[in-house]
Amino acid sequence: MRAMLLEAQRRPLTLRDVPDPAPGPGQILVAVEACAVCRTDLHVADGDLPDPKLPLVLGHEIVGRVVGVGAGVPQARLGERVGIPWLGWTCGACRRCREGRENLCPEARFVGYHLDGGYAERTVTDARWAFRLPGNGDAAELAPLLCAGLIGWRSLRFAGDAERLGLYGFGAAAHIVAQVARHQGRRVFAFTRPGDEAAQRFARGLGAEWAGGSDEPPPEPLDAAIIFAPVGALVPAALRAVRPGGVVVCGGIHMSDIPSFPYEILWRERSVVSVANLTRRDGEEFLDLAPRVPIRTHVERFPLERANEALERLRSGRLEGAAVLVPESA
């Protein structure tokens, strides 16, 4: 099969012909229909996240069909359409797993980091972590739900019952969260790179009642803010934007250093919280909700061999919605 391999961090991916993977006990073999490109892929490729498996197939927003099963997996799963997320394995025995906080398992393994992912024509994954998806629907439009949607959903839960919600960084995750928030009756305020009028128009088109640069204050205090851009300087900016008792949620896996800020913008019971990974419950809840909103993802398709171009477009902020890789064999 063909795969785009990360052979060393801080270097472009390389298109290679590699043997088809074989499913082990408890695993399924999936023919990839589409794999969305996530900012976490950039963090792995650029060396922000250390010690990945090398060589590595990136990608953890995968939609595909089950074409093989390992020992212990029912044959009935053959032909099933599944979605594969970032979190690919947990121990199931530690205190965090037992408490339903498997997203914090110290032994966790992640797809496209410790485990080969979806920048390929086929991949294997733990059957327990493959979410069942509807058989119809465009695979490329479903793919961003598997991380941008899931981490956005978990971040939104951490925002509590906030009515006035700020979204910092209006990319793949925010464009999905905005739709969910509007469905829930919340008011959305979008913050983009300063001067990015196209992104601001995009946000308003998805229901944001205000859109401006991240260097601007919102027209009224926010109840909560979610930061998707990996920019630490946005934390004090968001703290200044939220009301007393408000919360700032950091939704990314990596962020540049947060600069020092005066205690007065944290005082009066404002809080800052981070979100890590996802649980299977998050996936089940969100994938049940998505068609009822209904969520419409905005995607730009790239053939597998143009993965480096898709990553560069994401790195430079020249995407509206999400980039999605579609193998020719899909």
pLDDT digits (tens, 9 = 90+) for 40-83: 999 999 999 999 999 999 999 999 999 999 999 999 999 999 99
| Mean pLDDT (the chain, rounded) | 97
Classify the phi-psi angles of 31: left when phi > 0, otherwise alpha if psi is within -120 to 50, otherwise beta. beta
Question: Which helix (DSSP H) or strand (DSSP E) does residue 323 occupy?
Answer: strand 322-326
Reported as a single tens digit per residue, the pLDDT across 257-280 is 999 999 999 999 999 999 999 999
Task: Give pLDDT tens digits for 152-185.
Answer: 999 999 999 999 999 999 999 999 999 999 999 9
Residue from 62, 44, 69 nearest 54 by CA: 44
- Which residue is it, tokens 């730009």? 300
Q: How far apart are CA 84 and CA 110, in angstroms?
A: 11
Q: How is 14-47 classified by DSSP, letter by letter?
A: EEEE-PPP---TTEEEEEEEEEE--HHHHHHHTT
CA–CA separation, 11 vs 120, rounded Å? Answer: 18
CA dihedral 217, 256, 251, 64 (to 10 degrees): 130
Q: Do residues 125 and 69 make contact, with C-beta atoms less than 8 angstroms apart?
A: no
State what percent of residues in the chain have pLDDT above 90.
98
| 124-137 confidence digits (pLDDT tens) | 999 999 999 988 89
> Sign of dihedral through CA atoms 149, 288, 278, 53?
negative
Looking at residue 135, its pLDDT comes to: 84
Residue 80 corresponds to which tokens in the numbers above? 């099933």
Q: What does the pLDDT read at residue 237?
A: 98
pLDDT for 134: 87
Radius of gyration of the chain (CA): 19
At 329 the pLDDT is 76
pLDDT classification of 315: cutoffs 50, 70, 90:
very high
Domain boundaries, the chain: 2-146+295-326, 149-274
The fold for domain 149-274 equals Rossmann fold (3.40.50)
Q: Mean pLDDT, to the nearest integer, of 90-97?
A: 97
What is the predicted pLDDT for the residue at 85?
A: 98
* Low-confidence winner among 143-147, 287-291, 317-321 (lowest mean pLDDT): 317-321
What confidence category does residue 328 fall into, taking pLDDT thresholds of 50, 70 and 90? confident
Which residues does residue 31 pair with via DSSP β-bridges, in sequence order?
65, 122
**How confident is the model at residue 217, as a pLDDT?**
97
The residue written with tokens 């598997």 in the block is 146
Reported in sequence order, the residue ranges of 175-233 that DSSP labels E, i.e. its strands, are: 187-192, 210-213, 222-227
So what's the pLDDT on residue 173? 97
| Residue in 296, 303, 301 with CA at minimum distance from that of residue 319 | 301
pLDDT at 153: 98
CATH fourth-level superfamily of 2-146+295-326? Medium-chain alcohol dehydrogenases, catalytic domain (3.90.180.10)
Percent of the chain residues topping a pLDDT of 70: 100
What per-residue confidence (pLDDT) applies to 50?
96
Name every residue whose Cβ is closer than 8 Å to that of residue 11 and which is 6 or more positions away in sequence.
none
Dihedral of CA atoms 215, 221, 223, 225 in degrees, nearest 10, equals 0
